[in-house]
């Protein structure tokens, strides 16, 4: 029994009572107003529907729509063999511990706590049902809630309230020999699941026992078959059937569908529960593209529940690598087909150090160096470990094949005795005395443009002796790429957008400045559609095409490289336009909706299109003057 009282400090006009189980399932939700809240204390019958299950209570006091107090209690292990009393005293001491949230009274105490009306402090909200006092009816406490008296006749008349049976039916808490009122009423014996009872001469008597595969159904007071799935379980036990979660009813003769699980229904050693919907459970959710229920990333659905693709971080059939992005130069190419290692038979031109060759091995002297950065010929600006022609190590390589006038011969041997530990005449330094980032293999101070590729000095290349730059090497000895922010005229660059995408003034189609488009000034007619330059199309020549405008008049330059369409106010003869009126007919030009064979044609009576702007009343596209439309496109009376 729930006994509700107040200490006289609240001016309330409503009491709300909510009852639920520990799973959050609502069992009852009642509201009391008027005389029901003025005549306190009030007694309400509360039970949880299943023996040995916990009950959650929430009682709140209101004035109009303002919460004055709220009390949360969790009664643990509700007994089924006695009636206990839970007393809740509402008080203004707890008014500061309640707030209005979503139209509900919510406690400000932490989860698992409730307000103490004596002190206003937060205390534990859990109560052991076995420690509660037995219920003793007293005059003035109100009547039963009408929940049932055990004989099937219903409860005593009272003030109303919440009723949830502590067993499956109103008569279930009866036993053989107990008193009853209604002769002929039937129920089940609470001490034996297979015993049925009948009310005879004011006393519950045996109505027969159930077979071994049956038990008494509390709903009807008669034997019913045991539910096979509940075999070996306790009442209230749960089990899975597919992805549906069921609960066994009292005496295991009925079941209730608890939930259609959004994810998998999982059976534990003692019960069952609904698992949250997750990727990999084989059930495709709204935020998943697929879900095949496995962790195999080499099939049609990865463990991220998305179709496989390069850049997803999972190496699939056909991929050499997958590092989770679509970027070159990080050890896995943008198309996942190369690990960007020298010797893989793929020339990785966009690797961190772009390869110039790759012959599927790392053997020097075969025309491709062990690092795939040189074709191993003298004069390429790279001092090779083995020259492909001489099969000897190169002592120098100044980027040319001159045999006189410099310190490196046309066979890439030193003309001076560089490296002998002495700075000879004509030498700036000697490699035996100075660090390689300072002194080149030709015993000259290292500088970009000295014709010697000096990796130790941080050079990626060298444009050649006396050269500021070359088609493949910038003036700072970095590899020439369109978008690197270095304007390399020898590579054919007119501009450089300083990023790997176009700007309004400068085209970018690829890193390669020799593709004929990249790092060229953006111009209508250059054959490259630059959206940053407001281009919708590009005819490839400085003349209009059937699909792309190119007005020659400077006053119409804003229409260049725009898509040709009737109604754009530009007459594109290549598109078959005779005129262009804008987006409406003019006396001399048909708009005709902008599409079709009559659009952007000179308005003529007899062309089959009635041009109202040309004062045509009709146009039947014939020369019959007596068919209702004259040859002057005026309406006439048919003779």
Query: Between vectors from CA 77 to CA 75 and to CA 78, what angle results, nearest 5°?
Result: 70
469-473: list long-range contacts, CB under 8 Å, 24+ apart: 471/514, 473/381
Burial of 357 (0-12, 13-18, 19+ CB in 10 A): middle
Continuous segment of H or E residues that includes residue 43:
strand 42-44
Q: Per residue in 73-88, pLDDT tens? A: 888 876 655 567 888 9
204 beta partners: 199
User: Any alpha helices (H) in 17-103, and if so which ranges?
Assistant: 35-38
Contact assessment for residue 75 and residue 87, using Cβ atoms and an 8 Å cutoff: no
What's the pLDDT at 71?
92
Q: In this predicted structure, what is the pLDDT of residue 45?
A: 65
pLDDT at 140: 32
What are all long-range contacts of 126-133, with beta carbons under 8 Å and residues at least 24 apart? 126/73, 126/74, 126/76, 127/73, 127/74, 127/75, 127/76, 127/86, 128/76, 128/77, 129/75, 129/76, 129/77, 129/78, 129/79, 129/84, 130/77, 130/79, 132/75, 132/84, 132/85, 132/86, 133/84, 133/85
Kindly list the domain boundaries of the chain, sorted by start residue: 2-131, 186-225, 238-274, 565-639
CB proximity list for 494: less than 8 A, separation 6 or greater: 506, 519, 520, 521
Which residues does the chain have with pLDDT short of 50? 49, 138-172
Cα torsion 400, 406, 410, 411 to 10°: value is -120
DSSP string, 472-526: TB-TTSSB--TTSS---GGGT-S---SSSS--SSB--SSS-GGGSSTTSB--TTS
User: Which pLDDT value is given to residue 482?
Assistant: 92
Tens of pLDDT along 338-383? 999 999 999 999 999 999 999 999 999 999 999 999 999 999 999 9
| Angle 177-179-182 from CA coordinates, rounded to 5° | 120
Question: What pLDDT, on the 0 to 100 scale, is given for residue 162?
Answer: 34
- In sequence order, which residues have a C-beta less than 8 Å from that of residue 463 and are 6 or more positions away? 381, 399, 448, 449, 469, 470, 473, 474, 475, 477, 490
pLDDT of residue 639: 65
Task: Record the pTM.
Answer: 0.32
Are 324 and 335 a contacting pair, CB within 8 Å?
no
């Amino acid at each position: 029994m729930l006994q509700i009282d107040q200490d006289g400090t609240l001016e309330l006009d409503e009491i709300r009572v909510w009852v639920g189980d520990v799973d959050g399932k609502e069992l009852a939700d009642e509201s009391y107003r008027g005389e029901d809240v003025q005549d306190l204390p009030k007694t309400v019958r509360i039970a949880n529907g299943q023996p040995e299950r916990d009950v959650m209570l929430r009682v709140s006091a209101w004035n109009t729509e303002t919460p004055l107090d709220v009390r949360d209690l969790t009664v643990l292990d509700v007994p089924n063999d006695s009636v206990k009393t839970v007393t809740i005293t509402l008080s203004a001491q707890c008014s500061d511990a309640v707030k209005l949230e979503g139209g509900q009274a919510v406690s400000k105490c932490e989860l698992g706590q409730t307000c103490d009306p004596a002190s206003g402090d937060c205390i534990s909200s859990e109560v052991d049902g076995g420690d509660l006092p037995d219920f003793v009816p007293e005059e003035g406490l109100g009547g039963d809630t009408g929940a049932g008296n055990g004989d099937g006749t219903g409860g005593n008349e009272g003030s109303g309230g919440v009723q949830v049976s502590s067993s499956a039916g109103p008569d279930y808490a009866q036993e053989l020999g107990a008193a009853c009122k209604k002769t002929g009423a039937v129920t089940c014996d609470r001490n034996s699941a297979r015993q049925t009872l009948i009310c005879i001469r004011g006393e519950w008597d045996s109505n027969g026992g159930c077979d071994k595969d049956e038990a008494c159904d509390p709903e009807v007071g008669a034997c019913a078959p045991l539910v096979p799935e509940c075999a070996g379980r306790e009442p209230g036990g749960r089990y899975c059937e597919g992805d549906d979660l069921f609960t066994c009813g009292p005496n295991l003769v009925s079941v209730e569908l608890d939930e259609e699980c959004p994810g998998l229904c999982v059976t534990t050693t003692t019960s069952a529960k609904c698992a949250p919907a997750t990727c990999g459970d084989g059930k495709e959710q709204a935020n998943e593209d697929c879900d095949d229920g496995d962790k195999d990333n080499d099939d049609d659905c990865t463990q991220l529940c998305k179709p496989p693709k390069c850049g997803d971080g999972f190496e699939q059939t056909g991929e050499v690598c997958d590092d989770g992005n679509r970027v070159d130069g990080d050890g896995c190419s943008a198309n996942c087909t190369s690990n960007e290692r020298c010797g893989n038979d793929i020339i990785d031109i966009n690797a961190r150090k772009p390869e110039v060759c790759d012959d599927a091995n790392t053997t020097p002297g075969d025309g491709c160096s062990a690092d795939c950065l040189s074709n191993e010929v003298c004069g390429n600006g790279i001092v090779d470990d083995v020259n492909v022609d001489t099969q000897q190590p190169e002592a120098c390589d100044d980027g040319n094949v001159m045999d006189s006038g410099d310190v490196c011969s046309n066979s890439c041997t030193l003309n001076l005795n560089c490296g002998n530990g002495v700075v000879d005449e004509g030498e700036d330094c000697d490699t035996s005395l100075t660090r390689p980032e300072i002194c080149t293999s030709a015993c000259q101070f290292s500088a970009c443009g000295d014709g010697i590729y000096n990796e130790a000095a941080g050079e990626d290349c060298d444009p050649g002796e006396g050269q500021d730059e070359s088609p493949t090497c910038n003036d700072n000895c970095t590899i020439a790429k369109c978008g690197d922010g270095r304007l390399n005229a020898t590579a054919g660059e007119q501009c450089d957008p300083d990023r790997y995408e176009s700007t309004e003034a400068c085209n970018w189609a690829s890193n390669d400045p020799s593709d004929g488009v990249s790092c060229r000034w953006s111009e209508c007619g250059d054959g490259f559609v630059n959206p940053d330059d407001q281009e919708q199309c590009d005819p490839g020549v400085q003349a209009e095409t059937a699909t792309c405008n190119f007005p020659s008049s400077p006053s119409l330059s804003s229409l260049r490289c725009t898509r040709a369409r009737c109604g754009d106010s530009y007459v594109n003869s290549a598109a078959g336009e005779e005129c262009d009126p804008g987006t409406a007919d003019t006396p001399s030009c048909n708009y005709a909706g902008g599409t079709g064979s009559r659009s952007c044609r000179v308005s003529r009576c007899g062309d089959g299109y009635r041009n109202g702007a040309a004062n045509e009343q009709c146009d039947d596209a014939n020369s019959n003057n007596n068919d209702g439309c004259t040859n002057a496109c005026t309406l006439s009376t048919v003779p």
